[in-house]
């Protein structure tokens, strides 16, 4: 319901209820006083007419007593004389009737205007000899009453207008307030509707994001399982191809020693070969153990583990690896150290497998932006638009996302690739706080 129909309905309802009352009020005020005035004037004229009739009857009674038979002949003169002696100007006509009802005297012709009559008997010797009728005109009374009627009608109209104006003005103000409230209510409803639509849209967006996150989590879990399985396969293959071959060679050498135990020189050569094979087997075993868990992190810390990782990559790939590892002022949470180490390990592994680089730079620093790890090479690079998820880049991004960090990869074909892993201070504080909570609860290092 809008404001304008509400106003019209209120005014129409109020006008319908007040108008009959105002009409009655106007009629009562406009006619009450003039009618009262007119009734008073009629009563006053009737009194004057009665007084004049009594005076005329008294005078005529004396004449009738002095001239019992001849008085009708000079009644006109008597009536004229009485009229001249001061009959009120409002008295318009006087008539004298005998006992038979015949008019014996009158002051002119009977007027046709509105009159009020009064009569008085002419008594002589205790009996009525005639009747005197006096008429008073109502014209002046009517004019005065009509004049007052005009005055009171104007006053009544003003009063009625005031009676209508006061409540209508109050209703108009109430209507304006109601209109304003309705407008504000409509605005509030519109704002609420827009807010609801916005919230619904945001809720749908958050639901879509949650579903996407759930899908990504399931995909990540599946990829993690596949990655763990591939890593186990790789370690098993390396143990089989490296450690297995060395152990097989040791077994064969031991069998040859048993067969040629009568030839000390050959046995000595076989034992020397067995010693070298055992060393190689031990190196393979250590490399497999490092692949499963970087022992250097527990023994020497992140900066030493990264330097050894760089040295190992230089030895395995036959390339130059420069490590710029800043000493950290305070130890990092174990989860952060492991993530940084694994990202560096994956990045260096990608360089050795795919980049064909001559030089590699590994840098770790902590600055106002947070903890920063960079692995840069001068290899063949790759097209970022056609990035191959099989290079382990997706796994590095997931490790970064789990810690609230960012992983950026910039590569230019024939120029090289830069992998940058950033953990902002806020994420570091949150992780460190979580570590403190775990240690306080007796859970040890994560």
CATH number of the domain bearing residue 362 = 3.30.565.10
Report how far residue 318's alpha carbon sits from residue 356's, in angstroms, rounded to the nearest whole number.
11
Bridge partner list, 419: 375, 409
Same domain, 25 and 146: yes
The pLDDT, as a whole number, for residue 290 is 64
Same domain, 25 and 157: yes
The pLDDT, as a whole number, for residue 444 is 45
Coil, strand or helix: which one is 67?
coil
Q: Cα dist. 440→429, 431, 435 in Å?
A: 16, 14, 8
Same domain, 204 and 306: no
Q: How many CA atoms lie within 13 A of 84 on its CB side?
A: 6
The pLDDT, as a whole number, for residue 417 is 92
Domain membership of residue 1 (yes or no) is yes
**CB under 8 Å, gap of 24 or more: what pairs does 394-398 form?**
394/223, 395/223, 395/224, 395/227, 395/346, 396/342, 396/343, 396/346, 396/347, 396/421, 398/220, 398/223, 398/224
Domain membership of residue 276 (yes or no) is no
Domain boundary among 157, 190, 214: 214
CB 343 within 8 Å of CB 400: yes
Report how far residue 148's alpha carbon sits from residue 127's, in angstroms, rounded to the nearest whole number.
46
Q: Cα dist. 268→20, 87, 249 in Å?
A: 138, 183, 16
Bridging pattern class, strands 359-367 and 320-325: parallel
The pLDDT, as a whole number, for residue 250 is 77
The pLDDT, as a whole number, for residue 239 is 67
Domain membership of residue 247 (yes or no) is no
Domain membership of residue 159 (yes or no) is yes
Same domain, 208 and 313: no
The pLDDT, as a whole number, for residue 374 is 94
Domain membership of residue 275 (yes or no) is no
Same domain, 322 and 180: no
Bridging pattern class, strands 103-106 and 91-98: antiparallel
Domain boundary among 191, 214, 237: 214
155-177 burial, b for 16+ CB within 10 Å, e for fewer?
A: ebeebbeeebeeebeebeeebee
Which regions of the chain are under pLDDT 70?
1-8, 70, 81-92, 108-113, 217, 219-235, 238-242, 288-296, 329, 384-392, 432-446
Same domain, 319 and 210: no
Same domain, 4 and 132: yes
Domain that holds residue 98: 1-214
Domain boundary among 214, 234, 267: 214
Report how far residue 230's alpha carbon sits from residue 368's, in angstroms, rounded to the nearest whole number.
38
Same domain, 12 and 112: yes
The burial of 332, by beta-carbon neighbours within 10 Å (0-12 exposed, 13-18 middle, 19 or more buried), is given as buried
The pLDDT, as a whole number, for residue 373 is 93
The pLDDT, as a whole number, for residue 223 is 63
Identify the helix (H) or strand (E) that includes residue 409. Answer: strand 406-412
Report how far residue 425's alpha carbon sits from residue 274's, in angstroms, rounded to the nearest whole number.
53
CATH of the domain at 139: 3.30.450.20
Q: At 94, list the tokens.
A: 């006087």
The pLDDT, as a whole number, for residue 360 is 94
Report how far residue 414's alpha carbon sits from residue 358's, in angstroms, rounded to the nearest whole number.
12
Report the domain count for the chain.
Answer: 2
Report how far residue 278's alpha carbon sits from residue 281's, in angstroms, rounded to the nearest whole number.
5
Report how far residue 394's alpha carbon sits from residue 419's, in angstroms, rounded to the nearest whole number.
12
Domain membership of residue 226 (yes or no) is no
Q: Cα dist. 332→372, 402, 429, 443 in Å?
A: 13, 16, 10, 17
Domain membership of residue 36 (yes or no) is yes
Domain membership of residue 203 (yes or no) is yes
């Amino acid at each position: 319901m809008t404001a304008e129909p509400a106003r019209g309905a209120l005014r129409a309802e109020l006008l319908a209820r007040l108008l009959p009352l105002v009409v009655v009020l106007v009629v009562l005020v406009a006619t009450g006083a003039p009618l009262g005035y007119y009734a008073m004037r009629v009563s006053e004229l009737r009194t004057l007419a009665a007084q004049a009739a009594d005076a005329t009857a008294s005078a005529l009674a004396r004449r009738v007593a002095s001239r019992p038979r001849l008085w009708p002949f000079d009644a006109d003169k008597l009536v004229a004389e009485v009229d001249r002696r001061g009959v009120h100007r409002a008295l318009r006509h006087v008539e004298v009737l005998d006992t038979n009802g015949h008019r014996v005297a009158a002051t002119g012709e009977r007027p046709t205007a509105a009159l009020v009559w009064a009569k008085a008997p002419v008594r002589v010797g205790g009996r009525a000899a005639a009747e005197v009728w006096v008429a008073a005109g109502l014209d002046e009374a009517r004019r005065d009453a009509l004049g007052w009627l005009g005055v009171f009608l104007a006053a009544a109209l003003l009063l009625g207008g005031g009676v209508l104006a006061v409540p209508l003005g109050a209703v108009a103000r109430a209507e304006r307030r109601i209109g304003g409230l309705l407008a504000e209510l409509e605005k509030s409803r519109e704002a609420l509707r827009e807010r609801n639509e916005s919230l619904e849209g945001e809720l749908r967006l958050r639901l879509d994001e949650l579903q996407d996150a759930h899908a990504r989590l399931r995909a990540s879990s599946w990829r993690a399982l596949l990655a763990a399985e591939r890593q186990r396969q790789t370690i098993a293959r390396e143990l089989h191809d490296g450690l297995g071959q060395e152990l097989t060679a040791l077994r064969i050498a031991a069998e040859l020693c048993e067969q040629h135990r009568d030839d000390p020189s050959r046995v000595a050569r076989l034992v020397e070969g067995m010693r070298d094979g055992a060393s190689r087997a031990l190196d393979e075993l250590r490399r497999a153990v490092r692949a499963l868990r970087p022992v250097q992190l527990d023994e020497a810390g992140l900066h030493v583990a990264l330097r050894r990782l760089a040295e190992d990559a230089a030895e395995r790939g036959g390339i130059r690896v420069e490590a710029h590892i800043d000493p950290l002022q305070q130890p990092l949470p174990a989860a952060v150290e492991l993530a940084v180490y694994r990202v560096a390990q994956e990045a260096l592994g990608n360089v050795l497998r795919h980049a064909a680089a001559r030089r590699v730079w590994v840098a770790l620093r902590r600055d106002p932006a947070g903890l920063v790890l960079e692995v840069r090479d001068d290899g063949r690079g790759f097209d970022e638009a056609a990035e191959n998820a099989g290079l382990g880049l997706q796994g590095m991004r997931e490790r970064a996302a789990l810690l609230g960090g960012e992983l950026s990869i910039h590569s230019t074909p024939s120029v090289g690739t830069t992998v940058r892993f950033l953990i902002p201070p806020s994420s570091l504080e949150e992780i460190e706080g979580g570590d403190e909570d775990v240690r306080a609860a007796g859970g040890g290092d994560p």
